[in-house]
């Protein structure tokens, strides 16, 4: 297949699962870390796929790419996950062409987020694309699309209130604590995991609850120590996890561990506990979640919180969609013109041939500047009239024949 025509909008696919059709336990089967991502890219190269990236967050795992069919992308993704392709397909959505492009814009703008307008997805998208680009998997199509998507996302953020208020998964956890726990500022809290989500949650706990009675634990102790020093909190080594769990009133888990971190024996008979698990996959063992002294909340439950901020954001959706429509229109124009690149190259070659033709009268020969002008005019006519450019080549051939 001609590589130019292969790498166009019609062959752009998104295959993914998210919070809409799958719970966290299923999404956790398809979570992708850096090592798995690198393996996917290596396998893609062997399959002849040159443009793709993978977005994996607590709410979604999606593979975006240019392929002959979406099954190529699904196979690549599932080859490196705990879940298999059949399980993936049962909850998956497949989008192609313009629908896939629109989905990309919606994701970056926060329109497809579990918490409407959650802007954290932009940083995650940038990281995902940067990883792919470093591996050589971001070509002209993906580069142009992501630049347009990020610009539209920025315009949505700056010109609407879709991300107004302070709401994210991290802040939703704080909202829940404030609403459900009396005198929450006096409770002893434990945060397990100080990555990006844990860090944001911790700052929200301090800023919005005014609670400094928080102990931090992280597998890499230096990270916990650094954040504790920054916010004036306490930290503890991971070896004291059980002791800290039993002493805490409120436990927030935000790790990316593949194995369960919080076990039944850690909590049994240790008093009333509120546990908020922000991890994907869940890091609290199933039998620990059902203990009578444990009240368990996960990211799916947090997303159901509705307040005035969400109602305000919902009202901003039409404005956001209008901005996205403008971005998509410009991108579609670029894609349409890109389809004519072989035609314009052919036209240029014919003009060069005319310029160098030994029997062409001197006065009829085209200079380089004239050649470029003809190319620009032809491109402009194609854009304005949405007509195939072959008629201009035919006219040029007639002109060449007339000179002979």
The verdict on residue 3 lying in a domain is: no
Mark whether 45 and 102 lie in a shared domain. yes
Task: For residues 31 and 136, state if they share a domain.
Answer: yes
Q: Shortest CA distance to 64 belongs to which of 51, 78, 75, 46?
A: 51
In a shared domain, residues 68 and 208:
no
CA 47/CA 365 separation, integer angstroms: 47
Helix (H, G, I), strand (E, B) or coil at 30: coil
**Residue 363: its pLDDT value, please?**
46
Rounded Cα gap, residues 161 and 159, in angstroms: 7
Range of the domain at 323: 9-165+311-335
Are the C-beta atoms of residues 231 and 211 closer than 8 Å to each other? no
138: CB partners within 8 A, 6+ apart: 51, 53, 129, 132, 146
Q: What is the pLDDT of residue 101?
A: 98
Asked whether residue 119 is marked as a ligand-binding residue, the answer is yes
- Position 1 scores a pLDDT of 39
Please provide the DSSP assignment of 344-391 as one string.
HHHHHHHHHHHHH-TTS-GGGPPPHHHHHHHHHHHHHHHHHH---THH
- Could you tell me the CA-to-CA distances from 3 to 7, 8, 115, 298 in Å, in that order? 6, 9, 39, 45
- Give the CATH number, domain containing residue 199: 3.40.50.720
How far is 339 from 219, CA to CA, in rounded Å?
51
The reply, when asked if residue 118 is annotated as ligand binding, is yes
Examine the domain organization and report whether 121 and 16 are in the same domain: yes
d(CA 244, CA 150): 42
Q: Where do we find the tokens 């940083």?
A: 123
The answer on 132 and 180 residing in a single domain is no
240 is in an annotated binding site: no
Please tell me whether the peptide bond between 281 and the residue prior to it is cis, using omega within 30 degrees of 0. Answer: yes
Which tokens in the block code for residue 99?
A: 């629908």
**Of 58, 78, 184, 202, which is the active-site residue?**
58
58 is an active site residue: yes
Mean pLDDT per 10-residue run, the chain (404 residues)? Answer: 62 95 87 94 93 92 96 96 94 97 97 84 94 96 97 95 73 83 88 88 83 90 91 91 91 86 89 88 86 87 70 92 97 81 65 61 53 63 56 50 48
Predicted confidence at residue 119, as pLDDT, reads 78
Look up the pTM and report it: 0.65
Residue 1: inside a domain: no
State yes or no: 65 annotated in a binding site. no
Is 90 marked as binding a ligand? no
């Amino acid at each position: 297949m001609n590589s130019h025509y292969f790498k166009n909008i019609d062959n752009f696919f998104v295959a993914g699962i998210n919070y809409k059709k799958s719970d966290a336990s299923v999404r956790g089967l398809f979570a992708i870390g850096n090592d798995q991502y690198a393996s996917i890219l290596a396998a893609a190269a062997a399959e002849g796929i040159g443009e793709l990236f993978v977005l994996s967050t607590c709410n979604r795992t999606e593979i975006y790419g240019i392929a002959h069919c979406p099954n190529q992308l699904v196979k690549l993704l599932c080859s490196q996950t705990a879940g298999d392709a059949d399980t993936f397909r049962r909850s998956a959505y497949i989008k192609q062409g313009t629908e896939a492009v629109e989905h990309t814009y919606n994701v970056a703008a926060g329109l497809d987020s579990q918490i409407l307008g959650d802007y954290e997805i932009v940083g995650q998208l940038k990281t995902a694309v940067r990883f792919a680009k470093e591996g050589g998997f971001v070509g002209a199509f993906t580069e142009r699309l992501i630049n347009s998507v990020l610009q539209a996302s920025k315009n949505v953020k700056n010109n609407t209130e879709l991300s107004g208020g302070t709401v994210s998964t991290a802040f939703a956890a704080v909202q829940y604590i404030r609403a459900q726990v009396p005198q929450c500022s006096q409770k002893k809290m434990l945060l397990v995991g100080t990555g990006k989500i844990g860090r944001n949650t911790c700052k929200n706990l301090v800023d919005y609850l005014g609670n400094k009675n928080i102990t931090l634990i992280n597998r890499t102790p230096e990270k916990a120590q650094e954040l504790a020093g920054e916010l004036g909190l306490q930290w503890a080594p991971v070896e004291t996890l059980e002791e800290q769990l039993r002493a805490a009133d409120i436990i927030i888990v935000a790790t990316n561990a593949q194995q369960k971190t919080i076990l039944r024996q850690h909590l049994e008979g240790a008093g009333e506990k509120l546990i908020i698990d922000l991890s994907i996959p869940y890091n609290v063992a199933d039998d620990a979640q059902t203990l009578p002294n444990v009240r368990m909340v996960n990211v799916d439950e947090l997303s159901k919180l509705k307040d005035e901020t969400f109602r305000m954001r919902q009202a901003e959706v039409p404005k956001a969609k209008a901005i996205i429509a403008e971005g998509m229109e410009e991108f579609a124009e670029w894609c349409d013109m890109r389809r004519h690149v072989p035609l314009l190259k052919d036209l240029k070659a014919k003009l060069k041939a005319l310029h160098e033709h030994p029997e062409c009268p001197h006065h009829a020969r085209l200079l380089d500047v004239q050649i470029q002008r003809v190319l620009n005019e032809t491109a402009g006519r194609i854009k304005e009239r949405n007509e195939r450019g072959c008629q201009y080549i035919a006219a040029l051939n007639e002109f060449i024949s007339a000179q002979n």
